[in-house]
Amino acid sequence: MIPLLLFLPLLAFSSGFVFFEKSSFERFIDEAGRARVVYLGDIHDRKDVHEFQLKVLRELRRKGYRIVVLMEAFQQPFQDALDEYVEGEIDEKEMLERTEYRKRWRFDRELYSPIWRFVRENHVKLVALNIPSELLRDIRKKGLENVKSRYLPRRLMPFRRRHREFLLRAMGEHRKVVKKNFFDIQLAWDMGMAYKVAKTALAYPESKLVVIVGSGHVWRGYGIPERVNFLVGELPQLVSYVDEDEIHFLFSKDFSRESSSTNSRREPN
């Protein structure tokens, strides 16, 4: 199991979040109990990371929290198939066929299947988080400024400098040939998923949202979490992500604010 420790300097992260210095699993669950949104960042092909995610889901459920699970592995146009699967109207094979899982996600389904089986067994709402591949292809061809979509909000939050630097580092030796459409696609990806998280938070005000998404989309609170706050105001958010075989934890500074917009019904912009 990945060690649940953090060794990062205090000033090297998104200004909207603070780090745990160290965390046991018990402390993580305790803090998760106070969050509206819990991000479980993953490395898509790492079994131990997915086992940690399932452990979190089981513990939150055991403690009696009402939860909604959002998964990047499924694209938003296929929500009906997820609903029917959770309700027991179709089996897993048909759900995977109708969501085009093998075509659109491709990662070993046995790494993710314990999660969606847990969701079904416990009658938990399962939400498709990812934006359509067709939208990303359209943006690659035309540029983000020339594409309108119901999967994106009207206003987009641009990248922070540190986040851009992280994305360039992630490109490794290919960073010298990065083109504008690379950042357009990354921005649309983060923004579209943040938009879905924000709308789901408004639609299920009494539930805790558990978001299973690639660690790169929640690194140090950048990507999705800060864009959720951009769309609906400060929400209590807890983030875990994987970096160099360690799980890192951080949570929003406004975690304990009684006046937080957690209860807001304002539509995300």
Express each pLDDT in 161-172 by its tens digit: 888 888 888 776
Using CA atoms, how far residue 123 sits from 115, 116, 210, in Å, is 12, 10, 15
Question: pTM, whole model, 2 decimals?
Answer: 0.88
Extents of the domains making up the chain: 17-257
Express each pLDDT in 226-252 by its tens digit: 999 999 988 899 999 887 778 888 877
Burial 37-46 (b: 16+ CB within 10 A, else e): bbbbbbbbee
CATH of 17-257, one of 3.40.1080.10, 3.40.50.11550, 2.40.50.100, 3.10.450.40: 3.40.50.11550
Q: Indicate the angle between helix axes 180-203 and 133-142, nearest 10 degrees.
A: 140
Q: How many helices (H) and strands (E) does the chain have?
A: 10, 7
Q: What is the mean pLDDT of the segment spanning 147-164?
A: 93
Using CA atoms, how far residue 120 sits from 39, 61, 139, in Å, is 20, 13, 34
Give Rg (Cα) of the chain. Answer: 18
